Amino acid sequence: MDQGKIIEHFHQGDCLNAYQLFGAHVVKENTAGVRFTVYAPHARNVSVIGSFNNWDTEAARMERTGFTGVWSVFVPGVKQWDTYKYHIEDRNGNPLDKADPYAFYSETRPGTASKVYDLNEIHWADRNWMKKRSKNFDRPVSIYEVYAGGWKMNGEFTFSYDMLREQLIPYVKEHGFTHIEMMPLNEYPFDGSWGYQASGYYSVTSRYGNPAEFAAFVNECHKQGIGVIMDMVPVHFVKDAFGLRQFDGEPLYEYKKFEDAESEWGTMNFDLWSEEVRSFLISAAAFWLDVYHIDGIRIDAVSNLIYWGGNRDRGTNEGSLNFIKRMNYFLNKEYPDVMLIAEDSSDFPKVTGSTLDGGLGFDYKWDLGWMNDTLKYYATDPLFRFYDHNKITFSMAYFYSERFLMPLSHDENVHGKKTIIDRMWGTYEQKFSQVRNLYAYMFAHPGKKLNFMGNEIASFREFDEKKELDWFLLEYPAHDAFLRYFTDLNKIYSSHGCLYKHDYDGKGFRWIDADNAAQSVYTFYREDEKEYLVCLMNLTSAQYEDFRVAVPQAGTYTEILNSEKDIYNGCNMCNFEPVKSVTLKNPDGRRTEEIRIRVAPFAAIWLTCPKKHTRHTAASEDRKGK
């Protein structure tokens, strides 16, 4: 480690490895102990207090490193698990006791001290996974979003990292998910913030175990072929006195102006114009990728990074935008196989554009417009869906402007919004029919997929961080059948390249009929080099014995998914035999192909046909002509 180089880049705002200098680092050679290093440029004096010196403010005085604002001291005899804080005298001599901003581990709430932890104790066995992983643009991605403290509980207590390793990973694999996205696992004081109000950006939360146990969870995910995505919040941090606020007696991590520093969440906004704050956050992101082998980072509340306070009327925050571009540029350069995901509710352009071309540099952006339009549509009485027909078709009008990811996340299961199934129009049975239809649409639509835990069992109760999922629901046939349906969707999705290979290049999707508002029926197809997959969605209670569907080529079409199949608790009005297309002659002399199929009320149907490579079909010639 070149200390001078790290400090230089730290002050330049482009440091990816500040954690290799700052924090508490165990030294084992010669005299064993710990070197503590902290950034506190406005402090008069700084010392390390802890369990190893009886919290004596004079026992471990730190020394300034030149004029850099960096303080450091080596304390012999300090061991793993020892607790500590920094005792800071501000420029006026007022005392402050602060947790280490770069702590690798922390006391469990309500304790607020940092803990010494040697990251060299972590060992890995995931070399094959790390060699093969990618940003997954042309691979299947079905993400299971998890709040670690509320998936399952052990009596009254939350699961540990070890329990999640033993039970969550097999569950995710069994039901066909490709990735787990963990809601923030950085340290945080208030359970009700779900980790989005962080106090320790380098400290894996002690609620569920220690760093080695969390690393073992990630290691096992990789061994089982599951990627791990972490939520990160570079917008704001907690106000608590032990944390970053007024760290050395003056604003250091937050904006100096009160109106800029105070956030809408009752927290403090990071000063993203500060080079040192930029290095702190960029290094924090790199830390999880380097130390814990995380496969993706999802950045929360990106609209609040784009605009001052998330308010378009206040204009763009140019310092914050420069931070985002810089962070993504360096992360993409250093970790080219890691997914960078933006949760952004704005229509700011080029969020997933290259930073070299003026974009923000993310790989994916949550399609919150699709989510809002779709859920509003499915909540509407079918008698009136005619008027909202474009809510389903509109997403494809803008889809290729960004690399969109389709989310039905925790945000759609809280605060009185109702859960996904409970938003569906109609009776109990009709809600199930329509939520099956919704998910067939979601998985056939271009874009990677994300679902919050509980979506897959059709949970009716909103997310509550104090309770586990309602697993008892699986004792009821409708919920048990829905989990089977969701599992089949995941597995069919992952086994058909046409559903994911061309998500973002425009080659893989075509509307067959986007304008059938009179019947509220939508038809489109996905394709790759091997097959066509035709999707039909019936969004009313009408049923059809002989529904005509134009198809992209002559051939035999086999139904591989019907949301009304009896094993999914449906009415079983399916197409049990393969359907052969018929050729139609049009008045203009063109030849087209169509099939005729049975369509149940609220049914979603997928039919596949292998591509013919020996000759061009009339339908493909027609598309080329257009």
Residue 573 DSSP class? -
For 612, the token pair is 């013919």
Q: CA 141, CA 450: separation in Å to the nearest integer?
A: 8
The enclosing H or E element of 559 equals strand 556-562
Strands 179-182 and 227-232: parallel
Q: Reduced to 3 states, what is the DSSP secondary structure of residue 290? A: helix
Handedness of CA 561, 412, 215, 166 (dihedral sign): negative
Q: Give me the half-sphere count of Cα atoms (radius 13 Å) on the Cβ side of residue 514.
A: 12
For 373, the token pair is 């339009």
Phi and psi at 120, nearest 5°, equal -70, -10
3-state secondary structure 163-213: HHHHHHHHHHHHCCCCEEEECCCEECCCHHHCCCCCCEEEEECCCCCCHHH
For 98, the token pair is 């602060």
Is the separation of the CB atoms in 34 and 73 below 8 Å? Answer: no
343 is catalytic: yes
Determine how many CB atoms are found less than 10 A away from the CB of residue 30. 7
Q: CA 210, CA 105: separation in Å to the nearest integer?
A: 7
Task: Please give the radius of gyration of the chain, using alpha carbons only, rounded to the nearest integer.
Answer: 27
For 294, the token pair is 């995380």
Is the separation of the CB atoms in 297 and 341 below 8 Å? Answer: yes
Residue 162 DSSP class? H
What is the identity of the amino acid at 447?
G
Compute CA distances 195 → 129, 143, 198, 233, 441, whole Å: 28, 19, 6, 9, 31
**Catalytic site residue from 82, 89, 343, 564:** 343
The residue among 568, 564, 548 whose CA lies nearest residue 488 is: 568
Strands 521-527 and 509-513: antiparallel
The enclosing H or E element of 237 equals strand 236-237
What is the identity of the amino acid at 28?
K
What is the identity of the amino acid at 479?
H
Within 8 A by CB and 6+ apart from 8, the residues are none
Tokens 């340290």 locate to: 187
**Catalytic site residue from 145, 187, 300, 456:** 300
What is the identity of the amino acid at 570?
G
Q: CA 76, CA 59: separation in Å to the nearest integer?
A: 12
Q: Reduced to 3 states, what is the DSSP secondary structure of residue 502? A: coil
Q: CA 130, CA 226: separation in Å to the nearest integer?
A: 11
Q: String of b and e for 349-373 (b: at least 16 CB within 10 Å)? A: eebbbebeeebbbbbbbbbbebbeb
- What angle, rounded to 10 degrees, do the helices at 318-334 and 275-291 form? 30
What is the identity of the amino acid at 155?
G
468 is catalytic: no
Q: CA 10, CA 582: separation in Å to the nearest integer?
A: 68
> What residues act catalytically?
300, 343
